[in-house]
Chains A and B, each alone.
Chain A
Amino acid sequence: MAITEAPTGTPPAAPPARRGRRSANRWTRRDKTVLGLMIGIPTAISVLFVWLPALASVALSFTRWDGIGLDTISWIGLRNYREIFTIYPPFFPALRHNVIWLAFFLLIPTPIGLLLAYLLDKEIRFTRIYQSAIFLPVVLSLAIVGFIWQLIYSTDQGLINAVIGKFGSQPIDWLGNPRLNLWAVLIAASWRHVGYMMILYLAGLKGVDPTIKEAAAIDGATAWQAFRYVVFPALRPVNIVVLVITVIESLRAFDLVFVINGGRNGLELLSVLVTQNIIGEASRIGYGSAIASIMLVISTVFIGIYTVNVFREERR
């Protein structure tokens, strides 16, 4: 770790110490060691537990391994990928569900969150109360969200079937029917996602210069025009954050479907397949790693967009 001598730009070979000026050798060896450890230890932990495993997923995706001893790893090239695409039935349903999940999140809860943020950003009474209520689901774990919505969806004891039963309808198996359950789960997941998006957009709207809105109003723009052509473009940085978070959250989605039925029968997701290949009955390390590598490629694109945006701003 190289530490340049002076944060304020004092030349290394400083002139003979004057009053108020520190000598060039202001960092003792001890200081350098302390600083090196302060940065080195967390970096090592992050590399060891996050980055090495991520890269190991890619490496393992080209191998066959029973997971017992390192000497049983054998290189098989792209065979895991070929098999996933051809003879591994849950892969394409899982991929499709992840895409639906992402599209749904981008089209339903995200715009709702933006709309609510826009409405709540105005000077309005009770705004804190409204915000607290809408944000509350965000503090719950997705596992608990799954439990709470089972009270609503369950076939014999659920609220929806109790209500429609009063009108003589047959009970519907909301979480068991593979044509319905993904949508039921997406509504439950959106319940939580709206508040998250709302809070991000509220923070973003606080940063929009109020005078540009006034200027638009003076120029005779309607509320919609002011939003569409003035406010929304000004929200670009938040929109990028929202996009990245939504993509990552859609890839991470796991807990909710796992507590509902273990992620089967219409609720397959890439994350579930990865987990099933470790702790499930049929554990194929190569398959799990190949799916994880596909997830890595997708997320790298969006993490890249995010970091470029965040760290480009820094240069200004």
Chain B
Amino acid sequence: MTAVSTAPPSGASASDVPVRRPRKPLTPGRVVLHVFLALTSLLFLFPLLYAVYTSLRPYAETAQYGYFSLPRGLTFANYSDAWNQSRVLHFLLNTLIIVVPALVLILLLSSFVAFGLARFRIRGRKGLLILFTAGNLLPQQILVTPLYQAYRLWDSQGWVLDKQAFIYDTYWGVIAIHVAFQIGFCAFVLTNYMETLPQELTEAALVDGAGVWRQYWTITMPLCRAPLAALATLEFTWIYNDFLWALVLMNTGDKRPITSALNNLRGEFFTDNNLLAAGSVIIALPTVVIYFILQKQFVGGLTLGANKG
């Protein structure tokens, strides 16, 4: 990433005056620009704001006055109903059971690859990098049929171990494909990052007799906190939002993570739009909160991957 210094080093003339940049005069053009951007922002927030608004209205009220009407009384009843009726907590926990191990494995394994490819001259380095990067770009549907069949065959044939080591309809089965799929993206990002670290770092450690593992764990990894945080934020969101893998690779509706369970939830429990709105807001909340807390990491991770170099 080309570093564009936003604040050019100022000479002596600037240092003796208190640092106060003169605000640009508010020209008519600027006003138009601000109005346009503010309206656009509102437009993009509108569907979410409307969902929140609807979720806070009693059903009886919207039934009487319609959804396009001013509020007469607001209530959290829809939230408690949605929470209780659809066992949101249960499905959120299912999500956590998948996200946490997947996240740890993805970051660990991809940093292995990145370390190897960025810090050593390895034959076929470029080919491996392409294997990981391109693999992450494949649409999931290209893999899903054989993967589903393989999972089922594995279970019915009991090829390895005995018939106890099932993979279809298990959390490990879903975690495995998340890990395999996302290693690609993270390996790409981390390799690019580690290549920017000065070679002297590990050289010095080498003189001290540090082995490969120590160079990785105690020297390289602590320097990668920023990209690891960015990737963790991004991957959390992606895995939380996954719909397809758990839908196809899990059979028991009760075991599915929250996003994949949505489809059933609607039919079974959400009887009206107010309840549907409350349920949607609850389920959207974790990623929205994480985005607001870790916005820099989120955006940084996304552009880190897309904007190599």
- The chain A residues found within 8 Å of chain B, CB to CB, are 1-4, 7-8, 20, 22, 26-28, 30-31, 34-35, 38-39, 41-43, 45-54, 56-57, 60, 67-68, 70, 116, 119-120, 123-126, 129-130, 132-137, 139-144, 147-152, 154, 157-159, 162-163, 165-166, 191, 194-196, 199-200, 202-204, 206-207, 210, 237-238, 241, 244-245, 248, 251-252, 254-255, 258-259, 270-271, 274-275, 277-279, 285, 288-289, 291-293, 295-296, 299, 303, 306-307, 310-311, 313-314
Contacts and interface: CB of A to CB of B under 8 A. Distances in A.
Contacts of B232: none
B287 to A, nearest CB: 5
Interface string B248-285: 10000000000110110010000011001101100110
16 contacts: A34-B213, A39-B117, A47-B131, A133-B44, A134-B41, A141-B241, A151-B47, A151-B273, A251-B141, A275-B144, A279-B148, A288-B145, A289-B146, A292-B145, A295-B141, A310-B309
B241 A140 contact: yes
A302 to B, nearest CB: 8
B213 to A, nearest CB: 5
B149 A67 contact: yes
B141 A292 contact: yes
Label chain B's interface by main secondary structure: helix
B116 A35 contact: yes
Contact of B143 (A4, A53, A130, A165): A53
Contacts of B213: 34
Interface-centre pick from A119, A133, A199, A251 (highest chain B CB count, 10 A): A133
Interface in B221-259: 237, 240-244, 247-248, 259
Contacts of A291: 141
Nearest to A43: B128
Contacts of B24: 123
B38 interface: yes
Interface string B1-28: 1101000000000000000000010000
Interface of B: 1-2, 4, 24, 30, 33-34, 36-38, 40-42, 44-45, 47-48, 50-51, 54, 62, 66-69, 109-110, 112-113, 115-117, 119-123, 126, 128-135, 137-150, 152-153, 156, 176-177, 179-181, 183-184, 187, 199, 203, 206-207, 211-213, 216, 237, 240-244, 247-248, 259-260, 262-263, 266, 272-273, 276-277, 279-280, 283-284, 287-288, 290-292, 295, 298-299, 302-303, 306-309
